[in-house]
Every structure is written in C-alpha cells, then in structure tokens.
Structure 1
Amino acid sequence: MTDDPSSSAGSDDGITSDEKPRSSGDDSNGSQAENESDGEAERSLTLAAFHDACQQEGRPVLTAGGVARALEYPHSAVTEQLEALEAAGDVESLSVSTDPVVWYPSELEDLTDRERVVVFPKRREIVVDRPEQFTRAQLSQFAHLADTNGENGYRYEVRPEDVWQAPHDSFDGLARTMRQALGQRSDALEDWVESQWDRARQFRLVTHEEGYTVLEAQSAEIMGNVARQKLDEEHVHAPISETEDWVREGSEAAIKRTLYEAGYPVQDQRELAAGEELSIELQVRLRDYQRTWVDRFAEAGEGVFVGPPGSGKTVAAMGAMAHVGGETLILVPSRDLARQWNEELLAQTSLEPEQIGQYHGGQKNVRPVTIATYQIAGMDRHRSLFDDREWGLVVFDECQHVPSDVYRRSTHLQSRHRLGLSASPIREDDRQTEIFTLVGPPIGTDWEALFEDGFVAEPELEIRYVPWGDDEQQNAYGSADGREKYRIAARNRGKVDDVRYLLSAHPDSKALVFVDYLKQGRAIAEAVDAPFLSGETPHAERRRLLEEFRRNERELLVVSRVGDEGIDLPTADLAIIASGLGGSRRQGTQRAGRTMRPAGGALVYVLATRGTREEDFARKQLQHLGRKGMTVREQNVDIET
C-alpha cells in the first residue's frame, strides 16, 4: 500500500501488459483506435484526465506537449481544450521563459485529495486512494476490503463468494455497480465476475408438490459432472430426471456445504414453514446501514449480519423480525446473552413479556419468541420442543459457533428465514464457509465507514512490550518448551505493574482487564482492588457486577474468557488485554470490540512480554483489525513504568 500503484503496474512483478490499470480516459472497446487512423481525431480533455497526466509525469505543472505525451492525445487539439478548461476555472496557465505556457490545476491540492481507482483484473484486485463514501459503498457490493494502510489507501479483492452474494437481481445491475465504483469499464474483470455470477445459479433446492425436497440443476451436464460426482446416497435417494435429484430429509445443509466447497453455491428456494404470524413493531429508528442490512436480508430470506461490536446488529435483527412477522427462535451461546436479548426485545419492540420465553438451564419456556442456548437446542431430549413448532425465523447469535460439532446440531432447524449475527465470523479451523452455507451469506458494512460517520468509535490500539517482572520467570521461559513457553510469557508478573500504571494514567475511564488464566486474574484483581469475573463466578453475582458496571456504579472489572462473548458492556472505554494473545483472531476482535461505541475516545492496550512469542501473537491477532481500518501502534515499556 505504500508504493504508488500506478507505478507498480509497470514493474517487473509479473504483471502482464493486459493487467495494467486503465485510466478513466481509456476506451475499453477499442473504438477510438479504429477512429484515429490519422492520429489527430479529437478526444475530450477533462480535469480528471489532466490530473492523470500530472500524476503520470510526476509534476504539478505541465506544458501542452507534456499533456499530449502523457495521455497520448493529439497535440494539435490539447492547447485548445486546455484553454476551454481555463475558461471553466478548472486550470490556470502561466507564461515562462523556457516554454510558451505551462498549465496547472486551479486547486493544486486536488492532486493529493482526489479519489483514484486502479484495477488489476488478473489478480482481481482494486486499489483505491482516498475513496469517497459512495465508492466504498459500491465496492462493498461485490468486493472484499482486504487491506488498508490507515492513510486513505485501500486494497479490495474480488472473491467468488463476493460475487455469489452480490445484492443484485441481474448481472447487468451488478455490472453497472462495478462501473460506477471503478469509474471505468474493465472487460477482463467483468468477464470473470459474470462467470461467477452464472456459477451461483446452477443449482437450487426446491420443494416438490408432494412435500419432499428436490435438488435441481440448470443442465444435465452440470448435474452429472458436479452434483452426482460430489454427492452420494447419504445426500440423495435417487435421480428423478437428468436435472433433478430426490434429496434425503435432513441432508439439505450438507448438500449446500458440499456444493459450495466445490464452487457452486446452492440457491435455497424451498417452501419452508413460515410459522404463526406475529406482529412486531420496532420502537427505534434503524440507521441507514441497518436498514440496508434488513433490506438485503429481506431479498435473500437469509444472511449473516457482520459488523463491529456496537454497530447495532441486535437492533437490526429485530428489524428483520419485524419484516418476517412470524414466530421467532433466537439461539445464543449463554444464558447471560439470553437475558440481555429478553431485555432488549422488551425495550426496543412492541412485544409483551408474556410473548417472550427463555429456554436454558435457568428457565424453560417456549413462547412465540423463544430465546434458547445452542447447547439446549442441540440436545436430543429438548430438540422435539423446537422441532414441533414452526418458526418463521431462526436467529443464530454469535454464529461463528455454528460450525462447531456441539453447536451445529441446532442448524437442523431450517426455517423459511435464517439470520446470523457476528462481529467476526473468523474461525481458526477454516470452517467459516460453513457459517454461510448453514445460515446464509454475509451482509455487512465497511467498518471504517461506520467509524467516519460516528456510529461506532474507532478505538486506539496499542501493543505494549512489557519487560519480565522477575528473573525467575525469565529463566523458566528460557528452559521451557512449546506451549509452556507461551503460558509463562502470558503470566509475566511484570504485566501487573503495567496494568496498574495504565489504570493510573486513565483515572476517569471505565476499564476492563482481560486475562486467560484464573491465577493471573486473581493476582491482578487483588493488585487493583477490583472484582474478578470468571466462569467460577455464580450467575447471580456475575449479573450483579455487570449491572453495576452498566449503571456506572463500578468503574473496573477484571474479566476472564467468559467476557469474550455474550456479555454486553456498552459503556467500556478502556480495555487492557493482559493475556490471551494465543487465542483466535475472533477473540481479539471481541475484546477490542468492547470499546467500539459511539462515545469515542476508546483505548485498547495489548500487553505482550518483550522478546517472546507473545510479540508475534499480538501482531497477528490484531493484524486483521488493522486491515479493517483501525490504527495499531507499538510501544516498548520502560522498566521504570
């Protein structure tokens, strides 16, 4: 991202000439080449083209000859068109001794402040400098933000799954969006996108008039060469025709997953149970991006809302519930989250207390809107209670759990509408594609756009490299092997001093200190005189501490892994991660996300023992947050601290 993308296209990095980015002045169909047999046919000179010439020449001022050379425009027409731009106020001219006239933009800062899009078709990458909000919104419909340098430079990738889930009814609509985002037409990229668009429409699941499920293919060739090669008797009973197979009951999710992995996502158009009608009205106005999420869900009937903590995924899910207007089952990973859902539904919707039930270890009530834990919903002795009721919508909260062997048993509840919620659908076992085949395609928003619009506060992330607290631990680390090295570094007693220092440096902040080890948590809690909330904390005590934190009656909590998910701490503005760097990237997102709220001024400190494997763990765990637009800085901690 630090290199000028326009210059890299011509380097010896293996990019061929047809992969070089086109400027917005190019004509992709080659008609100009045909019409310029004498080399003098006129082409319109725009201010954008003049900027391109300045950038290509590496100078803010150019002669008419320089413009003609850079843009390969007819020299005889350039001066006249430059004079027209001057009359419009877009450029200015100045006579100098070495050349009759030089030209420059009226606003020189336009050279650095304007948006520039560079396309690499063969790599299916798009590099954008200083993109406008409109451009980023358009790109998000068919591309994935892969990287950002934190200085207005963005790198997007166009992956097959981005095309498969593009929110368009036709390829022509998607192509128009691409051209609007890129400011140009890229035939090579469009051809590839169209091929992926077609792949996503080769198979569909439908309901036969007699009630069973059928897998349909667009052609006998695709059915024979793909589906019947990948699927077996565990998935289908028998062929019905050259393009249809009779699906075994309960194997629908496995079929979708298998064909997705083969590069052919299946359109699920079954006539599934809609459940009893249930009128739900929202008591809060959705933000524009939340309304977009709900609209995209409404079009597809399924999906996963992906956004940073604090972006309002729960409220958006309630908007989806209001759209469906049917009985709803909400699956959550913990009873704490079930209670929070219950409270939010009462506060944000027209639902009455008697319409909402919770089903978990604490209470067991099945009602028109039921909130259950994944564990309970997956148990054989409870499953019939949920199977017997026809749900209009099933919501999978924290749906990154779905692919795990314990939780995926709940996905047999295949209602007409399925909705997942996740801040980070990343799995370290590379099974995240299962989330989208079992639940639905991702629906999300550019994180940095939420930061810029003030909906979510971008936290400041700092990795602090902490020295050893004593020689005993340092010597033990030197002689340890493997996982034991990590545990010793994670529990470095020097971190206790740095936690105290950071809390004293931010005396007015509401703070959370995260740990992975009970002994370390107790030591830090004692050192800072704060409660330690862990899995050993009784539910009643845990609830009391959290309520006190929410009501600003308590300013500090030390939290174990129990706080990574399923606990809403909306007013935290300081997070200190003392250990847990060997955890997943998702865990890093969850912990950093505890400070992502509209209030702003949030801080996240990640403590890593200097000179150990924790340094690499810290960088890798937060790397994907940096790619989402957050600034991550690094600091060596002095021994005196």
Structure 2
Amino acid sequence: MGDENGREDDHSEKPEGDRTEPGTDAGESTVGDLSLDRFHDALEAEERPVATASEVARRLGTTQAAARDALATLVERGSVERLDVESDPVVFYPSEWGRLASRERVVTFPKRREIVVDRPTQYTRAQLSQFARLVDTTGTDPGTRGYLYRIRPEDVWAAPFDDADALIGSLRSVLPRRFAELEEWVRDQWRRANRFRLYTHEDDYVVLEAASESLLGNVAEQHLADDHLRAPISETEAWVNEAAVAAVKRALYDAGYPVQDDRDLDTGDPVDIDLTTDLREYQETWVETFLESRSGVYVGPPGSGKTVAAIATIAAVGGETLILVPSRELAGQWREELLAHSTVDPADIGEYHGGQKEIRPITIATYQIAGMDRHRGLFDSRRWGLICFDEAHHITAPVYSRAAELQAKHRLGLSATPVRETGSEEEIYTLIGQPIGADWDALFEAGFVQEPEVEIRYVPWRDELARNEYASADGRERRRLAAENPAKVEEVRYLLAAHRGKKALVFIEYLDHGEALADALDAPFVSGETPHHERAELFRRFHEEGTEVDVLVVSRVGDEGIDLPNAELAVVASGLGGSRRQGSQRAGRTMRPEGTALVYVLATRGSSEEEFAQRQMRHLARKGVRVRETNVAE
C-alpha cells in the first residue's frame, strides 16, 4: 500500500528488529540505539537533508527526549553532525553521505527534484546521467562517495528516450519507490519539449508548428518579436523569418518550450575524408547520437577525445565543413589533428584568421573573423554541410554571437565544460544543440581518463611587509597582492621538489608575477606576448621525454584555445578570480589515459582567494573529481 504521497511500504527492507510499531515501548528502546539507516529514513520522510530531534521523534514514533539522546550517541560516534541555526534550536545531519551504509541507498527529495545516492552502482549512475545533473559529490574514494543529482527541465527535454513512459521507467528503476508528484512534473516537462517544432515547407521556407492553436496564439505571440514570424499559415503554423530562426529558438526556450528542429539542413558539397583512428565505444555513441539529431554538443573532460569524435562526425556527414575556434594557435592544431586522424588531402584544409586567409572544403576560422561583416560574405558563399564550434561556451559571448546565426547547417559543439558565469549554458544548447557525452565521473571509473587528484593548499603570509601592504589595500589591488604572495614561490618550489621528474605546468594570472616566478624557478614563461613560433617550440620540448624543459610557467593563454601538452602535475599559483570553467580547464591539463594526475591550487590564507578556490573546486567536485584541502604551516 502507498500513502498519500505515493510512497510504498518499505518494511521488507528492514531487519526483523526494526519492525516495531511506532509509539510502542519497544520502538522507543530501538531508537535508543538509533541506526544510521533509521536516521536516514527520518530524513527521507521529512524531505529535508537535516532534521531536529522533534522531527526525528515524530517520524520514528518516539519521544523527543529519546530521539535527542539517540542522536547525541550518533554525534559522539562521528556519524552525525549537529548545528545550531536561527530557524531551529538544533538540527542534525549525516557527517558524510558516502559512509551512511554498506549498500547503495537512494534518498529522494521530490519537491526539490533532488536525489542523493550513497555508494551508487554503475547502473544507477548510468541511469541517472540520462535525465539528471550531477550537482555534487562527497567523500574521498571512488565507491564510497555520496552523489547529489538534480533533475532540471532541460535535463528532461534532452533525455534520450522515445517517450515519457520510457523516461519514467528509467526513473523508477533507480528510486526506492514511486513519487507521483515528481513523475507528473517529469511528464509535464516532456510534453513541453514536444510542443513546438521547426520544419521545412515543400516550397523551401521555414515553418513554426505548435501543438495547438492556443500555444501558437498565446505563447508564441507573447514571447516572439514582430519580425520573427512573417505570416500565419494555419491555426497552428506560421511562416518564420529565416534570419530569425536562432532568435525564435532562444525566445521559446526561455519561455520553457524547447523547439524541436526538424528542418532540412544543408549537407554541403561533398568532401573526401575518412577516419583512420578507431573510436572508443562512447565516442561511437556520441557520433551516432549526433547523426540522429543533426546537432549537439560533445561534452567531456580534456583527454576524452572530443576532437577525434568531431573528425569522425565530419567524415560521417561528408559535406564541406567550417570549424570555428577561439585562436589561430588552435586553428593550426586542428589542421594537425585532421591530418593525423583522417585521409583528408592537406590541400583541402584552409585556415582563415589574422595569419592567413584560405577558404577550402574544410576551413578552420576564428570566431572573431567569421563574425566580421567584411568577411561574412566569403563564409556565406560556401555551401557548408557542418559547422563545428570548438570551445563552444564562446558562442554566447557578444563578440562571437554572429556565428550562432548559422542555423541552417548541421551544428556540432565541443566543450569540456560549457558553464559560463552568466549561467547561459542553456543558450549554448539552444543555439547549437543538446548536450551529448558521458559524465566525467563515468569516464574516470571506466579508465578512459585518469581522475586528477586536486588539493587546495592555503598558504600563509610569511613576509610581514607583504601582509601589511595587503591589509592596507582594497579592491583589485588587494586581489593582485594576494595572488602574488611571496610565500607562494617557496610553496611552488616545495611541490616541484616533492614531485621531481614530473612534467609540471605552473599557472599564473599577472604577467609580472609570471616573470618573477619563472626567474625563481629557472623555467620558461609562456604568455600571450610569447611569439607563436617560440611558444610552439617550448611546447614541443616540454612534450618530449628527456628534454631539459620539465616545467613551464603559463599565463591565461594556457587555459584554452591552444593545445598544451598534458602534464603530470599542475600548480595554480594565481588566477583564482577566474571562472568555474577556467578551473576545469586547468585541472584538465593533467588528464590522461594512464598515470597519475595531480593538481595543486594555492590560495593565500585569509584572502578572497580562499572563496574563489573553493568555488572553482566545487565545480570539479560536481563532476566526480576528488578535492582535498591543506593548511600550509606558518
């Protein structure tokens, strides 16, 4: 029997001693030796991650005094923490979700659409990754962690199922019981994802079709601008201004109605290219998923092979291709990757940027050049079958947004982490396509990419003059002084010595700091001012075994847009005011198919760097990366 919230009776999972009826003497004696399982039952019934002693007593059918004593015992054991808060006298919560039980346990908070899983099996994580977002992890070792998932509207919209019943079936397969309210919300979101679609009319113009007359009349007319639609065709269809397709999709997405894009997309003039590299199983799945929907964003950590999967996609589409990149350095590296992994004729590859301007069957251009009016005609004159947006998070930046207007093509995005601090990752998926890819955590566990070990090291002020200068400064100057804390030089030396023989990248934010650190370490410094040929030579020597270049000090130029050789060790000495995505990029520089991967983040103790470091590393923790913290001795 289920209760009014759709919960089914769960007594069958409990041992014989826990089957006491609520409110009996035996029940009170059982609570006296409160188990973590029963405390977790109380939290689940409360649908909160914390509970007061009175709430635990009510849920377990005992007195408040008995519950308080039992919780105190759990606190003494270190299994439960207690916290004084303003709204409640004292609340209790598990010390660590990852150690709550020896078996997998799933706790659902349906009103918040959150799911906490202790010791999840690979099956559970695989199912959840299809319709929920991994928000956070706790614990240190794989297999003992707690995982927090949240189901968002866009997760339901992008779920890879044929219908809502299949999605609900996957949801039920991992939850301990049915939650009618949650299921109805999921069904409603699924219906929203199939209410509008774009298709190509037989007379070759674009039509917006709504599932009902009221949708077209109310939702579309309320949220679309006057120039988005040319004229009505029927009660449920309207002729779309083709130049406004991107704006229509964006506006309806913001209104909570993602548009199904069924237009006849250009395939482009044929190009002769075949893949010469074997794909991993998950890469094959990425490509197959893309070909079915004809748009999408490959999301995966550095080292997961997004570029190779993109080359396989180019070969599968078989049409002329425009590849957009954030820098000319990355354009050159794309040329090298194409030649290394495919049969393409070198003469069929062109680069279009500040250094050279060639339009070829496969053209690699920078976002900025492609968006300029004086170059736009050249790109529009070619019949591209595929547009590939590398570092796809750039697409929402104003300077690059013109590239998003290329909606009539197959659209492929690549990104290790599409997060922007503006929270506009949904816009990336609207303009390019839905996310395609495995959770970072799944790739770590499968062994395709080694999980980096990340440690935040809080470095004290050891120089009294520097400490006083920081105390008297404010704003941007204070941030710079914290970044350039002289004690970090000694700490970087210590870390390099502790990992002697490992190839190391040291990241900095300020050029003066980089030059000083490079001098102290007797290591090369690579910045945006380093000539392209010199930079390429340093990276080549760093990459080769047995060379004298084992350490590189790198400015923000190393965060993206160039293919830094993967290192065994990364030290983020400064630059903690950057974005969550930047933290992921830097951690990603150590990811490799085999071997250890170490990332140290140095933050000046007592400064804003502490908060910045924790924010960036929380983003990594949500992807399944272990993060620990250490206070460096005075």
TM-score by length of 2: 0.83
Task: For residue 396 of structure 2, give the secondary structure of its aligned residue in structure 1.
Answer: coil
Q: Does 1:519 align with 2:508?
A: no
Q: Does 1:366 align with 2:352?
A: no
Q: Output the CA distance in 1 between the equivalents of 2:585 and 2:381.
A: 35
Q: Does 1:216 align with 2:188?
A: no
Contact 1:469-1:495 at 8 Å conserved across structures: no
With 579-588 and 357-366 compared, the bigger mean Cα shift is at 357-366
Cα distance change of structure 1 residues 477 and 208 upon mapping to structure 2, 3 Å threshold = same
Q: How do 1:216-615 residues align onto structure 2 when only pairs under 5 Å count?
A: 216-552=209-545, 553=547, 554-615=549-610
- Of the three residues 121, 140, 144, the one matched with 1:132 is 121
Q: How do 1:132-211 residues align onto structure 2 when only pairs under 5 Å count?
A: 132-150=121-139, 151-182=144-175, 184-211=177-204
Contact 1:455-1:598 at 8 Å conserved across structures: yes
Task: For residue 203 of structure 2, give the secondary structure of its aligned residue in structure 1.
Answer: coil
Q: Does 1:116 align with 2:105?
A: yes
Q: Report the alpha carbon displacement of residue 18 of structure 1 after superposing the two structures with TM.
A: 5.2
Q: Give the AA of the match of 2:597.
A: A
Deviations 1:191-229 (A, max 9, x none): 211111110111111222222222111111011111101
Q: Report the alpha carbon displacement of residue 548 of structure 1 after superposing the two structures with TM.
A: 1.4
Contact 1:394-1:415 at 8 Å conserved across structures: no
Contact 1:570-1:597 at 8 Å conserved across structures: no
Deviations 1:287-327 (A, max 9, x none): 12222222221221111111111111111112222321221
Q: Report the alpha carbon displacement of residue 346 of structure 1 after superposing the two structures with TM.
A: 1.0
Q: Give the AA of the match of 2:475.
A: G
Cα distance change of structure 1 residues 54 and 371 upon mapping to structure 2, 3 Å threshold = farther
Aligned-residue RMSD, C-alpha:
2.4
Cα distance change of structure 1 residues 488 and 387 upon mapping to structure 2, 3 Å threshold = same
Q: Report the alpha carbon displacement of residue 337 of structure 1 after superposing the two structures with TM.
A: 1.0
Cα distance change of structure 1 residues 20 and 492 upon mapping to structure 2, 3 Å threshold = farther
Q: Report the alpha carbon displacement of residue 597 of structure 1 after superposing the two structures with TM.
A: 1.1
Contact 1:335-1:373 at 8 Å conserved across structures: yes
Deviations 1:546-598 (A, max 9, x none): 11122233211100000000222343010010111011001111011101112
Contact 2:7-2:177 at 8 Å conserved across structures: no
Q: Report the alpha carbon displacement of residue 411 of structure 1 after superposing the two structures with TM.
A: 1.6
Cα distance change of structure 1 residues 355 and 228 upon mapping to structure 2, 3 Å threshold = same
Q: Output the CA distance in 1 between the equivalents of 2:113 and 2:168.
A: 15
Q: Output the CA distance in 2 between the equivalents of 1:322 and 1:438.
A: 23
Q: Output the CA distance in 2 between the equivalents of 1:599 and 1:56.
A: 49
Deviations 1:344-366 (A, max 9, x none): 11111121212222111122221
Task: For residue 606 of structure 2, give the secondary structure of its aligned residue in structure 1.
Answer: coil
Q: Report the alpha carbon displacement of residue 440 of structure 1 after superposing the two structures with TM.
A: 0.8
Contact 1:579-1:607 at 8 Å conserved across structures: yes
Q: Output the CA distance in 2 between the equivalents of 1:175 and 1:441.
A: 20
Contact 1:22-1:119 at 8 Å conserved across structures: no
Contact 2:7-2:178 at 8 Å conserved across structures: no
Q: Report the alpha carbon displacement of residue 157 of structure 1 after superposing the two structures with TM.
A: 1.1
With 394-403 and 626-635 compared, the bigger mean Cα shift is at 626-635
- Structure 1 unaligned regions, length at least 5: 1-15, 27-48, 72-109
Q: Give the AA of the match of 1:596.
A: M
Cα distance change of structure 1 residues 483 and 55 upon mapping to structure 2, 3 Å threshold = farther
Contact 1:19-1:122 at 8 Å conserved across structures: no
Q: Give the AA of the match of 2:604.
A: T
Deviations 1:504-547 (A, max 9, x none): 11111100000010000000000111111000001111111111
Q: Give the AA of the match of 2:112.
A: R
Task: For residue 391 of structure 1, give the secondary structure of its aligned residue in structure 2.
Answer: coil
Q: Output the CA distance in 2 between the equivalents of 1:247 and 1:20.
A: 44
Identity %: 61
Q: Report the alpha carbon displacement of residue 277 of structure 1 after superposing the two structures with TM.
A: 2.3
Q: Output the CA distance in 1 between the equivalents of 2:100 and 2:249.
A: 49
Q: Output the CA distance in 1 between the equivalents of 2:108 and 2:450.
A: 31
Deviations 1:320-341 (A, max 9, x none): 2232122111111111111111
Deviations 1:8-45 (A, max 9, x none): xxxxxxxx97558657x69xxxxxxxxxxxxxxxxxxx
- Of the three residues 614, 635, 639, the one matched with 2:630 is 635
Contact 1:334-1:566 at 8 Å conserved across structures: yes
Contact 2:483-2:573 at 8 Å conserved across structures: yes
Q: Report the alpha carbon displacement of residue 601 of structure 1 after superposing the two structures with TM.
A: 1.3
Q: Give the AA of the match of 1:133.
A: Q
Q: Report the alpha carbon displacement of residue 424 of structure 1 after superposing the two structures with TM.
A: 1.1
Task: For residue 250 of structure 1, give the secondary structure of its aligned residue in structure 2.
Answer: helix
- Structure 2 unaligned regions, length at least 5: 21-25, 31-36, 39-98
Q: Give the AA of the match of 1:447.
A: W
Contact 1:214-1:245 at 8 Å conserved across structures: yes
Q: Output the CA distance in 1 between the equivalents of 2:17 and 2:602.
A: 46
TM-score by length of 1: 0.82
Q: Report the alpha carbon displacement of residue 170 of structure 1 after superposing the two structures with TM.
A: 1.9
Q: Report the alpha carbon displacement of residue 117 of structure 1 after superposing the two structures with TM.
A: 2.4
Q: How do 1:78-97 residues align onto structure 2 when only pairs under 5 Å count?
A: none
Q: Output the CA distance in 2 between the equivalents of 1:343 and 1:22.
A: 58
Cα distance change of structure 1 residues 55 and 399 upon mapping to structure 2, 3 Å threshold = farther
Q: Give the AA of the match of 1:598.
A: P
Task: For residue 169 of structure 1, give the secondary structure of its aligned residue in structure 2.
Answer: coil
Report the counterpart of residue 9 of structure 1 in structure 2.
Answer: none
Contact 2:5-2:179 at 8 Å conserved across structures: no
Contact 2:558-2:564 at 8 Å conserved across structures: no
With 491-500 and 467-476 compared, the bigger mean Cα shift is at 467-476
Q: Give the AA of the match of 1:607.
A: L
Q: Output the CA distance in 2 between the equivalents of 1:287 and 1:325.
A: 21
Contact 1:345-1:351 at 8 Å conserved across structures: yes
